[in-house]
């Protein structure tokens, strides 16, 4: 198999490199300085992200504008020391703005090659377009559907993608579990781990034939093997993260979640854990199972922060001296000179995408944001729900539901594009908000099933917490929920088109194919009958914007929260 040969070649390269561990001991016994730099959830944000997506909140509540590939490249170069390695904790691509997504995210891979990324974990969005497209990102070649439109030809990533817990259905590895880099004469093992629950956040068709195992078991298995090979300094790129209760880039105000649990349980052989997926900023010191501290750190998203961990390596053992580890999140400020090579790359992508990107599809009167109110309702979620209902009413749809994780940005009134008036919504703006090209599907549920779907917005977790995932809804649906009621019994007073929902009534509901397939834990949505396919969600969104010029934020009156 081609894949087996390619993975085998990478493994042989790593094994051959390990023979260098026999180099003569250094003349001095002073510790070796080693800097590790990581980012996470870049999502193809080559241009400086706008609005709230481009802000970093500091500990005192003030904000700083941050991000942009050319600025990020300059910061990486300024942070580089004599011995430095650069990593990504995954989701480099997917859910990307048009300047990257229009070209199958090839410009983002080129950017990562330019800044010298040494390795990346596979995130869930690396698999948005399926396993074969991930292989193309790794090894190069032209896309089957459109050919080569940006690079001629696309050469692929110069760094390996890693997933220690990703296998085929037959149990064989589907990616390299780890790689070994050398810096300052020190072999550094790097383990990549996507979240084991990846199937719940990715389309089932995209990951058909793949399985995802327990993160801790995969980390420990790889760490043991690296240790036997003589690699004592080990970093983990974990595409799983926790949420926070506010705080600045270097605060540790995380809510107990899966990343913290993994950090506490993973092998003591691991010296640092870079996390991702949750798009949060935190810098924590977590004791390993042996009681020794190590960093658990995440750098927000979209290239706004760089997570920097400075290690002191014992030249005799080649292992990190844990007590001397220092970690911080560096803000990618925009007050530095943009890297000219990366700026040229970004400008080329933006220029080539401009004829499509700058096309006006609608107008708005003020910001329409994705942030949820205490009830769980958001203005932008309302608009998208209404757009999806309008698109599928010909199929008899009465209600539309939208997963909040699929809303990737705000609709900002102030234009960030030269020559585009404020209040204008461009195709690029709409694409940035809904970049997945999910297909709308309409299915029939009973009233009892519709209530069960809404009850699944609160999902008990193994650690005893409850994850809240508030669906965004069309104006035809109204309901009340109680914050103090038991999980599974919180929903009351459901109406559709002003009429009370009855348990045995029949209701046609629209959602995207990700949700209808049970995504985000909404398993009841798989029970719908009479499926009718519809438009791509982005097309429905742009059509609605065009049909409703000077759109204002809708009134937040669809979901009522009670104590």
> What mean pLDDT comes out for the span 534-541?
96
Average pLDDT over residues 113-129: 97
**Partners of residue 511 on adjacent β-strands:** 441
H or E segment to which residue 399 belongs? strand 399-402
Task: Express each pLDDT in 263-274 by its tens digit.
Answer: 999 999 999 999
The model's pLDDT over 83-96, given as tens digits with 9 standing for 90+, comes to: 999 999 999 999 99
Interval 140-182: pLDDT, tens: 999 988 888 899 999 999 999 999 999 999 999 999 999 999 9
DSSP code, position 410: -
**Tens digits of per-residue pLDDT, 21-78?**
444 444 458 999 999 999 999 999 999 998 889 999 999 999 999 999 999 999 999 9
| CA 367-369-374 angle, 5° bins | 130
- pLDDT given at position 15: 45
Q: How far is CA 34 from CA 321, 324, 451, 520, in A?
A: 11, 11, 55, 39
Quick one: average pLDDT of 505-525? Answer: 95
CA angle 330, 406, 560 (to 5 degrees): 105
Would you state the structure tokens that stand for residue 476, as one six-digit string? 């035809």
pLDDT at 19 over 50: no
Residue 211 has pLDDT above 60, yes or no: yes
The average confidence (pLDDT) of the chain is 94
Q: What percent of the chain lies above the pLDDT cut of 90?
A: 90
Q: Which CATH architecture has domain 32-341?
A: 4-Layer Sandwich (3.60)
- pLDDT for 535 equals 94
Q: What pLDDT, on a 0 to 100 scale, did the predictor assign at position 16?
A: 42
Q: What are phi and psi of 506, to 5 degrees?
A: -115, 130
Q: What are the tens digits of pLDDT across the range 242-261?
A: 999 899 999 999 988 999 99
- Check residue 440 and report its DSSP letter: E
pLDDT at 7: 52
pLDDT of the residue at 252: 98
Q: Please check whether residue 275 is in contact with residue 40, taking contact to mean a CB–CB distance below 8 angstroms.
A: yes
**Where in the chain are the domains?**
32-341, 358-562
How many whole angstroms separate alpha carbon 452 and alpha carbon 524?
7
Q: What is the pTM of this model?
A: 0.88
pLDDT digits (tens, 9 = 90+) for 186-206: 999 999 999 999 999 998 889
| Class of domain 358-562 as given by CATH | alpha beta
Instruction: Classify each residue of 187-226 as buried b or exposed e, where b means 16 or more C-beta atoms within 10 Å of its C-beta.
Output: bbbbbbbbbbebbbbbbeebbeebbbbebbebbbbbbeeb
Cα 212 to chain centroid, rounded: 17
CA distances from 184 to 21, 26, 35 (A): 11, 10, 10
State residue 245 phi and psi, 5-degree precision: -110, 50
């Amino acid at each position: 198999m081609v894949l087996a040969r390619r993975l085998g070649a990478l493994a042989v390269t790593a094994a051959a490199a390990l023979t260098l561990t026999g180099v003569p001991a250094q003349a001095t016994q002073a510790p070796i300085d080693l800097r590790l730099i990581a980012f996470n959830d870049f999502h193809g944000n080559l241009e400086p992200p706008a609005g709230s997506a481009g802000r970093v909140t500091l500990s005192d509540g003030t904000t700083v504008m941050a991000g942009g590939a050319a600025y990020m490249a300059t910061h990486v170069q300024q942070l580089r020391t004599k011995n430095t390695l650069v990593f990504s904790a995954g989701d480099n691509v997917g859910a990307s703005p048009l300047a990257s997504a229009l070209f199958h995210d090839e410009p983002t891979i080129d950017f990562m090659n330019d800044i010298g990324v040494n390795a990346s974990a596979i995130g869930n969005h690396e698999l948005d377009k399926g396993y074969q497209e991930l292989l193309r990102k790794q090894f190069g070649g032209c896309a089957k559907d459109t050919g080569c439109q940006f690079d001629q030809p696309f050469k692929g990533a110069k760094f390996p993608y890693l997933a220690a817990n990703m296998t085929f259905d037959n149990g064989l590895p589907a990616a390299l579990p780890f790689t070994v880099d050398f810096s300052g004469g020190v072999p550094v093992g790097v383990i990549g781990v996507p979240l084991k629950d990846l199937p719940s956040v990715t389309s089932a068709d995209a990951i058909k034939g793949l399985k995802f195992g327990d993160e801790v078991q995969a980390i420990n298995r790889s760490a043991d093997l690296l240790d036997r090979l003589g690699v004592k300094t080990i970093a983990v790129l974990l595409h799983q993260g926790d949420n926070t209760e506010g705080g600045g880039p270097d605060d540790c105000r995380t809510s107990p979640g899966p990343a913290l649990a993994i950090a506490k349980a993973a092998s003591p052989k691991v010296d640092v854990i870079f996390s991702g997926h949750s798009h949060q900023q935190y810098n924590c010191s977590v004791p390993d199972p042996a009681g020794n501290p190590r960093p658990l750190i995440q750098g927000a998203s979209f290239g706004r922060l760089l997570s920097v961990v400075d290690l002191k390596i014992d030249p005799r053992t080649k292992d990190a001296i844990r007590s001397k580890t220092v970690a911080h999140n560096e803000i990618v400020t925009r007050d530095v000179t943009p890297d000219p090579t990366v700026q040229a790359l970004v400008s080329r992508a933006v220029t080539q995408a401009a004829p499509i990107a700058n096309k006006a599809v609608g107008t708005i009167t003020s910001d329409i944001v994705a942030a949820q109110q205490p009830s769980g309702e958001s203005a932008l979620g309302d608009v998208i729900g209404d757009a999806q209902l309008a698109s599928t009413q010909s199929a008899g749809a009465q209600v539309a539901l939208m997963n909040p994780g699929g809303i990737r940005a705000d609709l900002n009134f102030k234009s960030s594009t030269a020559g585009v008036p404020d209040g204008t919504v461009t195709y690029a703006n709409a694409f940035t908000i809904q970049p997945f090209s999910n297909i709308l599907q309409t299915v029939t549920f009973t009233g009892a099933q519709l209530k069960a779907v809404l009850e699944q917005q609160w999902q008990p977790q193994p650690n005893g917490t409850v994850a809240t995932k508030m669906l965004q809804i069309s104006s035809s649906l109204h309901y009340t929920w109680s914050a103090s009621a038991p999980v599974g019994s919180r929903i009351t007073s459901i109406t559709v088109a002003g009429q009370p929902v009855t348990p045995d009534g029949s209701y046609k509901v629209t959602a995207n194919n990700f949700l209808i397939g049970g995504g985000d834990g909404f398993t009841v949505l798989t029970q719908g009958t009479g499926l009718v396919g519809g438009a791509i969600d982005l097309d429905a969104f742009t059509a609605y914007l065009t049909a409703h010029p000077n759109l204002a934020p809708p009134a937040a009156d669809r979901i009522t929260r009670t104590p």
